[in-house]
Amino acid sequence: MFGEIYDVIVVGGGHAGAEATAAAANMGSKTLIVTMNLQTIGQMSCNPAMGGIAKGQIVREIDALGGYSGIITDKSAIQFKMLNKSKGSAMWSPRAQSDRMRFAEEWRLALERTPNVDFYQEMVTGLLIEKNKVVGVKTSLGIEIKSKSVVLTNGTFLNGLIHIGEKQFGGGRAGEKAATGITEQLVDLGFDSGRMKTGTPPRVDGRSLDYSKMIPQPGDDKPEKFSYLNTPILQKQRDCHMTHTSKMVHDLLREGFDRSPMFNGRIKSIGPRYCPSIEDKINRFSDKDSHQMFIEPEGWDTVEVYVNGFSTSLPEDVQFKALRSVKGFEKVKFFRPGYAIEYDYFPPTQLKHTLETKLIDNLYFAGQINGTTGYEEAASQGLMAGINAHLKINESEAFTLQRDEAYIGVLIDDLITKGTEEPYRMFTSRAEYRTLLRQDNADLRLTPKGYEIGLAKEDRLRRMKDKQTKSQALVAFFKDTSVLPRTNESHFARNRLVANITI
């Protein structure tokens, strides 16, 4: 089945895997993406949204370098907001709600349209190693596929264990199998591994909600977009809504605490501090009688709704009873309960700046496997791993970004020099050059670099140069033009008006 030797094999079709595949293939590498389910390429495991504070900057940086995440987001967005508008424009951050199904479909189609990409659906259970160098992968059917390099992007799937109340079962995501074999082999090869956890809220039927009791959260009046290319701007948008928990909801949730895997010691690993579960919030902030909940549609047409702010691994009956006490949720019907998941990760201090492992040549790790959380963090690592896998096998100079050049540079530098004890999420506060690393100048910062390594195309560079020329002309105009007050008609008019009023 696989007679040829691939340049790059990417294991996994999440955000990291999809970007790694696109980058390596667009640069000219014959690339195979092997993933457990080809239907779930680009799947958003948790909230249907891209961007946000610091994360929006990362999506723009991926786009500026020639990655796909910004384009896919623009094509599948249902609402756009520029966050942080109350602060100076250097802090503005784009965020879009996405149509979850369309997002995944657009990713799949984008990869199908990319030359040099082959697809194969199966679980990779091991790596082929020769003299400390990876030379391919082995699948659960025992098939060996040869390659010059391998990028592992296994996400939350490595020995994934799902928790709902007292029930626990193996899985990489609800309804999907856990991946086995890889952790065990890597540990045998001398890698350190650890366990982390994350969680997700229930999804519900939007037809069972009473939106008249909630506060609408519309998108921006003048929506923008992520990609610097010619992608569409939203002509219409879908509203999100806001509601709140109450003391009664908290009391109902507390009734299930003795069956909570978070509190009875069954979940031992550390979760993302800034995406706490509702039980965690009630426990840690016991003086608060109410927490915000954002009700986010999962797409243009679907009735499924994401209940942001209500992530939980409490028993499903407790989740359901408590949710029915939330304003607007009195008749709620569940699509699926919330759950928590524990999974293996590899402390990222075992990587070089290129995301190649220090122990095994030509083996790269990207995404949640490195202890990060979030689609944007994963996608940017995938992009960098795909680029470097291609460059290394072509004996070209490695491509890295410095902390003053990109949030992506900050992310990778933090990971490989400091490691992380808890799921790593990007914040503006992590970047000491944050006022320079703006969402609106990612193209000026990075497109020439993306072009130089052969990833960003001619059209992208031309658009960036055009923008640069226009903004330089504007700056020059202001530098060269001075207006004397007495030659200014409106100044005189205003003075006459003031004089008249005074008289």
Ligand X SMILES: Cc1cc2nc3c(=O)[nH]c(=O)nc-3n(C[C@H](O)[C@H](O)[C@H](O)COP(=O)(O)OP(=O)(O)OC[C@H]3O[C@@H](n4cnc5c(N)ncnc54)[C@H](O)[C@@H]3O)c2cc1C
Task: List residues near ligand X by CB under 6 A.
Answer: 11-17, 34-37, 40, 45-46, 123-124, 153-157, 172-173, 179, 182, 198-200, 272, 275, 341, 367-368, 373-375, 378
Give the number of C-alpha atoms closer than 13 A to the C-alpha of residue 452, restricted to the C-beta side. 10
Alpha-carbon gap, residue 23 to 32, rounded angstroms: 12
Alpha-carbon gap, residue 273 to 291, rounded angstroms: 16
If the CB atoms of residues 137 and 453 are measured against ligand X, the closer one turns out to be 137
User: Which amino acid appears at position 406 of this protein?
Assistant: A
DSSP string, 17-73: HHHHHHHHHHTT--EEEEES-GGGTT--SS-SEEE-TTHHHHHHHHHHHT-SHHHHH
Query: Residue 39, Cα to own-chain centre: how many angstroms?
Result: 19
User: Which amino acid appears at position 261 of this protein?
Assistant: P
Query: At its nearest, how many Å lie between ligand X and the CB of residue 411?
Result: 13
Query: At its nearest, how many Å lie between ligand X and the CB of residue 207?
Result: 24
Q: Cα–Cα distances in Å, from 427 out to 132, 198, 376, 440?
A: 36, 18, 12, 17
Alpha-carbon gap, residue 128 to 141, rounded angstroms: 15
If the CB atoms of residues 255 and 422 are measured against ligand X, the closer one turns out to be 422
Query: At its nearest, how many Å lie between ligand X and the CB of residue 11?
Result: 5
If the CB atoms of residues 323 and 464 are measured against ligand X, the closer one turns out to be 323
The tokens for 425 are: 């999420």
Query: At its nearest, how many Å lie between ligand X and the CB of residue 422?
Result: 12
Query: At its nearest, how many Å lie between ligand X and the CB of residue 339?
Result: 6
If the CB atoms of residues 315 and 325 are measured against ligand X, the closer one turns out to be 315
If the CB atoms of residues 24 and 464 are measured against ligand X, the closer one turns out to be 24
Query: At its nearest, how many Å lie between ligand X and the CB of residue 155?
Result: 2
Query: At its nearest, how many Å lie between ligand X and the CB of residue 107?
Result: 10
Q: Are 191 and 346 in contact (CB under 8 A)?
A: yes
Query: At its nearest, how many Å lie between ligand X and the CB of residue 146?
Result: 17
Give strand ranges (E) for 144-218: 144-152, 161-164, 167-170, 194-200, 203-205, 215-217
If the CB atoms of residues 33 and 442 are measured against ligand X, the closer one turns out to be 33
Q: Are 377 and 58 in contact (CB under 8 A)?
A: yes
If the CB atoms of residues 90 and 189 are measured against ligand X, the closer one turns out to be 189
Give me Rg for the CA atoms of the chain: 25
If the CB atoms of residues 80 and 345 are measured against ligand X, the closer one turns out to be 345
